[in-house]
Amino acid sequence: MSNGISTATLPVMEQFYTIQGEGAYSGHAAYFIRLGGCDVGCVWCDVKESWDATLHPMVPVDELVRKAGKHPSKMVVITGGEPLMHNLTFLTTQLQKEGCRVHIETSGAHAMHGETFDWVTVSPKKFKAPVDDVLLKADELKIVVFNKSDFEWAQHHAAKVSAKCKLYLQPEWDKRNEMMPYIVEYIKTHPQWNISLQTHKYLQIP
């Protein structure tokens, strides 16, 4: 891991052009860069193959920017794994110079190194607590609801984000039928929250 050192290469599991399936930008075309490396360890993670960064090739940032810039949508989503295990300043700077809008999806478990993002989605996990400073930078707080105790977890973190931050509850995919009725009832009594669905899974697209 780079641990704050500016890096011209990053471990990349995959990169692809698709439709954002979750949260505030659901339905928008976007280029995804999925980085390798994660130390959060969610038991229900659907990309566990991303956890070991050494299994993925080191790709030059210039190549990532060039590929991202080829697509009509200039929205680029950096995800993982846990992308904030890496210093992303060089990547975000180069993407923004290319005219891209840079989003990140993170658990918030690691501090930011000075990167400038156009949209920050924080999805805190119980397996490794988020950094308060990252929560304050969140444009979107997305809580994955695995069981009923996650509503208390959601409120705990909602108290740590800014007033402008959008709040989302998203059922864990394998428990969506079980948890969705609880989410619906919770939002009816806590209307500051919204439902996020993994629409890309329903549509069967990457």
What's the pLDDT tens digit per position in 155-167? 999 999 999 999 9
* β partners of residue 122: 106, 141
Distance CA 165, CA 177 (A): 27
Name the residue ranges covered by the structural domains of the chain.
Answer: 9-203
What's the pLDDT tens digit per position in 112-140? 988 999 999 999 988 888 999 999 999 99
Report the predicted TM-score, pTM, of the whole model to 2 decimal places.
0.93
Closest CA to 61 of 114, 8, 102, 15: 8
The residue type of 55 is L
Sequential DSSP letters for 48-97: GGGS-GGGS-EEEHHHHHHHHTTSS--EEEEESS-GGGS--HHHHHHHHH
The pair of structure tokens assigned to 91 is 């990547």
Distance CA 85, CA 35 (A): 9
Q: Domain 9-203 is in which class?
A: alpha beta
